[in-house]
Structure formats: structure tokens, C-alpha cells
Amino acid sequence: MDKQAFRKLSYGVYVVTSWGDGGKPTGCTANSAMQVTSDPAAVAVSINHDNYTNECIKNTQRFAINILGENSDPGIIGTFGFKSGKDNEKFNNNPTIKDYLPIVEGSIAYITCKVTKTLETETHTVFLGEVTGAEVTNPNDTPMTYAYYHNVIKGTSPKNAPTFIED
Ligand SMILES: Cc1cc2nc3c(=O)[nH]c(=O)nc-3n(C[C@H](O)[C@H](O)[C@H](O)COP(=O)(O)O)c2cc1C
């Protein structure tokens, strides 16, 4: 199997948010978001069993996809993608809440969802979400692609990302 072929799949860069213990806003960086249907609108994300975000989505049955732009602070990706919300506060102030979900400041759009189905794989849960709200908050930035993150920002992906490939 030539795993380099997986690198030819295209993605964006997102922060999937939800609520943790004690009503703490939290979430993780994810590239694995896709629109599944348009009417009714539905999206899906794939979240590792070991990620705190996974249990938060299971507990609340809600998640938001916060879409990052090329000019979003790359520090957001680090905060949400390389630490666990289990023992870290990922939001440094009270976030804006939309449709019961915390929104990441500096994202360019968000899509809020209610879980309708889950699919368990060996390592990840695929959450299917019925879209309950969506808004473009910064129309002037271009959505960041996963390729841009790797090639321009020179970012990496940790083991829990579904797209992780050991070098
Ligand atoms: C660019 C990038 C993409 C990622 N994509 C995913 C993903 O799609 N699914 C996933 O479960 N983890 C993904 N991760 C890893 C999680 O963000 C990371 O394990 C995070 O620390 C989990 O935080 P949590 O324990 O607070 O949920 C990605 C990380 C990066 C940097």
C-alpha cells in the first residue's frame, strides 16, 4: 500500500468544539470534516477514541465545526491540536456561544450540529451531525487547506489525526 496516495486527498483545517466536564468549553483540531448531505444538511467528523473531545461529543450529543482561514492564528491549531482538554483550558476567555456551542475566535465560519448517528471504527468515532446553524464570520479570509497547513505553515499532525502517516 502506497500511503503517499492518502496525501493526495484534500481537506481543510478545523477546530471541532463541544463542552467538557463542569461546562468547560473545549475541542480539538481536526481535518476530518465533510459535508454528507445538503437537504437536510448534514456533516461528519472523525474523532479518536483517546481524544477528550470524543467523550465530550458523546456526552452532549453536540459539536461545532469551526473553520480556520489562512490568516487564522496558527497558535489555535497548536492549542487545540497538541494538548488535551482533559487537563488544559483551551479557551482563554469566555467564548461566544452559538446554538449552545462554543465558537473559536479567529475562525472564519462555523457549523453547529446535533449528533444523529455514530460509527465506531477501531480507533475513531465518526459522528454524523444534523446541521442546526451556520454562519460566515470572516468573509475576507480564504479557508485553510490541509496542504496549506503542511506546505506553508510547515505544520505536522499528531498520531490521533486520522491522516497521520509515520515518516
Ligand atoms: C492538523 C491536525 C489535524 C488533526 N485532525 C484530527 C482529526 O481529524 N481527528 C482527531 O481525532 N484528531 C485530530 N487531530 C489530533 C487532535 O487535535 C489532538 O489529538 C488533540 O490534542 C486532542 O485534544 P482533546 O484530547 O482535547 O480532544 C489533528 C491534529 C492536527 C494538528
pLDDT digits (tens, 9 = 90+) for 77-117: 999 999 999 999 999 889 999 999 999 999 999 999 999 99
Residue 101 lies in a domain: yes
Q: Which residues, in sequence order, are bridge partners of residue 19?
A: 25
pLDDT for the residue numbered 71:
97
Number of independent structural domains in the chain: 1
Residue 83 lies in a domain: yes
Residue 64 lies in a domain: yes
Q: Residue 76: enclosing H or E segment and its boundaries?
A: helix 74-81
39: containing domain:
12-151
Q: Choose which residue among 11, 28, 154 to substitute to test ligand 1 binding: the one with the highest number of ligand atoms within 8 A of its C-beta.
A: 28
Residue 139 lies in a domain: yes
pLDDT for the residue numbered 91:
96
Residue 164 lies in a domain: no
CA torsion, ordered 53, 83, 72, 45, to nearest 10 deg = -30
Using 50 as the pLDDT threshold, list the residues of the chain that sit under it. none
Residue 165 lies in a domain: no
pLDDT for the residue numbered 43:
98
DSSP symbol at 32 = -
Ligand 1: residues whose CB is within 6 Å?
A: 13, 26, 28-32, 46-48, 51-53, 77, 80-86, 149, 157-158, 160-162
pLDDT for the residue numbered 93:
86
Report how far residue 100's alpha carbon sits from residue 83's, in angstroms, rounded to the nearest whole number: 24
Kindly report the pTM of this predicted structure.
0.97
CATH code: domain of residue 139: 2.30.110.10
**Hey, what's the cell of 1?**
500500500
Residue 158 lies in a domain: no
End-to-end CA distance of the chain: 15
Residue 60 lies in a domain: yes
